Amino acid sequence: MALIFIILYTKMERKVRVRFAPSPTGPLHIGGVRTALYNYLFARRNGGDMILRIEDTDSQRFVPGAEDYINEALAWLGIGIDEGVREGGNYGPYKQSERRDIYREHVKMLLDNGKAYYAFDTPEELEAARAATPNFQYDASTRGQMRNSLTLPAEQVEQMIANGEKYVVRFKIEPGRNVEVNDLIRGLVTINSSVLDDKVLYKSADDLPTYHLANIVDDHLMEVSHVIRGEEWLPSAPLHVLLYEAFGWTDTMPQFVHLPLLLKPDGKGKLSKRDGDRLGFPVFPLEWHDPKSGEISSGYRERGYLPEAVVNFLALLGWNPGDDTEIMSMQELIERFSFDHCSRSGAKFDFEKGKWFNHKYLQELADADLAAKFRSVLEARGVDNAAYSDEYVTRAVSMVKSRINFVEDLWEQGKFFFEAPTEYEAKAVKKRWSAETPAILNELVGRLAELPSLASQPAEENIIGWITERGYHMGNVMNAFRLCVVGECKGPHMFDIVELMGLDEISRRVATAIEKIQLPE
């Protein structure tokens, strides 16, 4: 009884240590970012450690720049790493290609205790076996007919290795066993070991382990308590359980958590880069320049998303806080995160919702901060920034920001604050402009000039009073006036615009419009 208690107690008390373990084979996909985020939230929630491990054992698929990209993306999003290649830590190296000795030693352990064996089959021999046997699988039913250390005499095996013949080491899977994977989201998943093949664990050709071996050896040595990763890795989990057993490490087996897939916004299936291209949204956190093809893929950062918005949006793709709260800062997410409210079924990638989050977070920014960001858009549009005070830009931003999803949208909504219109919305001209309009607008400008100030509210009252008094058509006058200043019949409150722009600019624009708008004969 006491012993059971101690075992349970130590299991429960195990320090939470999680790892994000990307392979540097290209830019980090947005699904990978979500995996990193959930690892981070879980670690922080439980006072644990977050490890970043670079799984670069597949030399064929290594892409230069991918590791830097991963670091930069996580830093941009505020996903902090406690241990890693850059951060250091007591369990390093954190890059698998620098851990060859460790893997060699562990492969040897499995060979020595009979859990693994050498296999010398050439690609041609494997091809022939596949051609001869439908659904061929290298396993208990076929390994007896193949060229491996279970079928060849020991001296010959030694000789072949000494001669430098290429070999792989395979895991010897015992058939007919029920393998249980306990998953925090999915519950108990049981599969029969007979469906598994004798996975390659190591290749002498490049002196590197395969993903499976390196992954579990590192999880064990790095004392990982929870393996939190995408659902696509669920099929590997039974093999990982068996590997833990083969090493005699069942007591420290991590808790598995397989996150739901991210699905296409429309229709069924996994979200892919093509969906992003087709529907016009990024599937990568940062812009990626492919070093081989030169192709550029767009990123959330360059598209004008705030990192806080991306984090909030991703957090809710597969998890909810238990109520309908949507806007949550990283700190709030940490406080509320748990796997109890993670869904099993895939999460539709609703990029319109992503825009909505960005909209919300932009509204939270102080007007002055938004204005500072808008300055670079103005610059890119050829506006002379020096001509406008911070106060002017800030007030302009405050008037139009409620309509934007991105900082860039401020231009579309507020460009008239910086550029006089050169064209006038034709439909509105037709509807609102008549032969009398120029005279009325000149009168309006004269009236504004007589006011002691252009403060929005009194100016409005005054002008409205005057229009009424004169019996002019309110809609026609005000819309014609707006056309002169804005170029179209939309935008913020007209008298707020007047107050900010000042009389000189307003009268210039009215004069220009009168000159330019030619009525049809």
Main-chain phi, psi angles of 299, to 5 degrees: -130, 160
CB 407 within 8 A of CB 359: no
- Show Cβ contacts of residue 156 under 8 Å, excluding neighbours closer than 6 positions: none
Can 273 be counted among the known catalytic residues? yes
DSSP code string of 293-342: T--EE-BTTTTT--HHHHHHHHHTSSB--SSS-----HHHHHHH--GGGB
Minimum distance of ligand GLU from residue 146's CB (angstroms): 28
Question: Which segment (15-23, 102-110, 145-153, 392-400) binds ligand GLU by CB under 6 A?
Answer: 15-23
Asked if 388 contacts 415 with a C-beta cutoff of 8 angstroms, the reply is no
Taking the complex as a whole, how short is the minimal distance between the CB of residue 30 and ligand GLU, in angstroms? Answer: 14
Binding to ligand GLU in span 361-390, by CB under 6 A: none
User: Least separation, in Å, of the C-beta of 184 and ligand GLU?
Assistant: 15
Q: CB of 23: closest distance to ligand GLU in angstroms?
A: 4
State which residue, 229 or 401, has the beta carbon closest to ligand GLU.
229
Task: Give, as ranges, the residues between 202 and 241 that touch ligand GLU (CB under 6 A).
Answer: 215, 229, 233
Task: Please choose, from the candidates 515, 521, 506, the residue with its C-alpha nearest in 3D space to the C-alpha of residue 424.
Answer: 515
Subset of residues 389 to 448 that bind ligand GLU, contact rule: CB under 6 A: none
Containing 258, the helix (H) or strand (E) segment is: strand 255-259
Residue closer to ligand GLU (CB basis): 23 or 312: 23
Q: What b/e readout covers 396-419, taking b as 16+ CB neighbours within 10 angstroms?
A: bbbbbbeebbbbbbbbebbbbbbe
**Unique residue bearing structure tokens 């369990």:** 91
Of residues 231 and 308, the one with the C-beta less far from ligand GLU = 231
What is the rounded distance in angstroms from the CA atom of residue 136 to the CA atom of residue 117?
19
Draw the binding track, 43-72, toward ligand GLU (x: CB under 6 A; -: no contact). ------------x-----------------
Considering only the stretches 5-13, 21-29, 342-350, 477-485, report the one whose residues sit in contact with ligand GLU under the rule CB under 6 A.
Answer: 21-29
Fill in the amino acid letter for 125.
Answer: E
Which residue in the list 203, 270, 273, 348 is annotated as catalytic?
A: 273
Of the listed pieces 16-24, 140-148, 305-313, 385-393, which binds ligand GLU according to CB under 6 A?
16-24
Give the pair of three-digit tokens for residue 66.
């991918």
- Four-residue CA torsion sign, 273, 279, 283, 287: positive
Widest pairwise Cα distance in the chain: 112
Q: Which is nearer to ligand GLU, 170 or 229 (CB)?
A: 229
Q: Does 21 contact ligand GLU by CB under 6 A?
A: yes
Distance of closest approach, residue 123 Cβ to ligand GLU, in angstroms:
24
Shorter beta-carbon distance to ligand GLU: residue 22 or 318: 22
Alpha-carbon distance of 337 to 458, in angstroms, equals 51
Smallest gap from residue 343 Cβ to ligand GLU (A): 19
CB 398 within 8 A of CB 443: no
CB of 203 to ligand GLU, least distance (A): 17
Query: Nearest Cα to 494, choosing from 513, 517, 475?
Result: 475
The four Cα atoms 292, 296, 298, 301 give a dihedral, to 10 degrees, of 80
What are the backbone dihedrals phi and psi of residue 386, each rounded to the nearest 5 degrees, phi first?
-65, -20
Q: Which is nearer to ligand GLU, 25 or 320 (CB)?
A: 25
Nearest residue (CB) to ligand GLU, 23 versus 225? 23
Q: Which stretch binds ligand GLU (CB under 6 A): 17-25, 326-334, 407-415, 474-482?
A: 17-25
What does the angle CA 170 – CA 176 – CA 180 come to, to the nearest 5 degrees?
Answer: 85
CB 21 within 8 Å of CB 215: yes
Kindly identify the residues of this chain, within the stretch 448-487, that bind ligand GLU according to CB under 6 A: none
Least separation in angstroms between residue 215's CB and ligand GLU is 5
Size of the site for ligand GLU (CB under 6 A): 7
- For ligand GLU, the closer CB: 23 or 358: 23
Binding site for ligand GLU (CB under 6 A): 21-23, 55, 215, 229, 233
**What amino acid positions are annotated as catalytic residues?**
273
